[in-house]
Amino acid sequence: MSSPDIAGILDSSKELDRLRKEQEEVLIEINKMHKKLISCPEVVEKAGDSSLSKLKMLYIQAKELSESEVSISSQLLGQLDALMPSGTQGQHRRRIGSEQKKKRVKADSEVPRLSPSRRSHLESLASLKGEQVAARITQENSGKDEWFVVKVIHFDKETREFEVLDEDPGEDEESTVQRKYKLPMSHIIPFPKRSDLSNIPDFPSGRHVLAVYPETTALYKATVYQTRKRKIDDYVVQFEDDEEDGSLPKRLVPFHRVVALPDGCRQ
């Protein structure tokens, strides 16, 4: 491993850290604007008020920073892959297959229901349209319940069912066609919103969670390895049944891809 290679990785890491700090500052400003508009919605009707324009610019800035973060992260992954000995790492996995000796989370009991009697709560569920969520789906071939990342297409307030789209059927599926499902509220867990850090849960070290496995669209039971320092920091977790060379590797998972472990989930 040469010094230039190490220097390049360090430079990318520093740039990634700078982008995240800047993102955190922008998100704080966005939240301030949200609170202002909620408390005084009439302010936008005043002549000369630029609140909405400022909010739009903040969102544009947040989007650009997010895209830059993705670009630098991809660059950093490429630099690391180039330094790793060939054959020691697993291939790109959209989902974990049986060849990886990983079992998807089984959910033998219902996830606690989401207060369907409250109209405001139903409205918030309806607002998930177009958002990605964690969904518990029963597999037709095995009858087992597994957790995937899906996109909400529609929420029916009468039946209290979600219609969702599995955008990535995975290489281990018989068909590559995107599939739609209708699921009850108890089978859906919204992901934390990156734009609202005040409502981001902070799971301590040792807590069992449900997390998206890196480079996949599947969620598995994991244990938080260490406490985060900042709200926007990734989680360091260890996935069950993810053993390599006799130990469980520590893997980074973005904070917005980690949720509380539902009751009844086990390996």
Q: 197-266, what's its fold?
A: SH3 type barrels. (2.30.30)
User: H helices of 103-153, where?
Assistant: 119-126
User: Crossing angle, helix 3-39 and helix 51-83, to 10 degrees?
Assistant: 160
Nearest to 256 by CA among 14, 56, 23: 23
Quick check: do 105-190 and 197-266 share a fold?
yes
pLDDT tens across 214-229, in order? Answer: 989 999 999 999 889 8
Q: How far apart are CA 136 and CA 155, in angstroms?
A: 16
Maximum CA pair distance of the chain?
67
pLDDT tens across 128-168, in order? Answer: 889 999 999 988 777 788 999 999 999 998 898 999 999 88
Strand partners, 221: 210
Which residue carries 């544009």 as its tokens?
Answer: 60
Instruction: Yes or no: say if 133 and 188 are a contact pair by the CB < 8 Å rule.
Output: yes
This prediction's pTM: 0.56
Instruction: Yes or no: say if 225 and 163 are a contact pair by the CB < 8 Å rule.
Output: no
Among the listed ranges 32-36, 61-65, 123-127, which one has the minimum average pLDDT value?
Answer: 123-127
Nearest to 35 by CA among 10, 55, 61: 55
Per CATH, is 105-190 categorized as 1.25.40?
A: no
Mean pLDDT over residues 36-58, rounded? 81
Domain ranges of the chain: 3-83, 105-190, 197-266
Amino acid at the residue 228? R
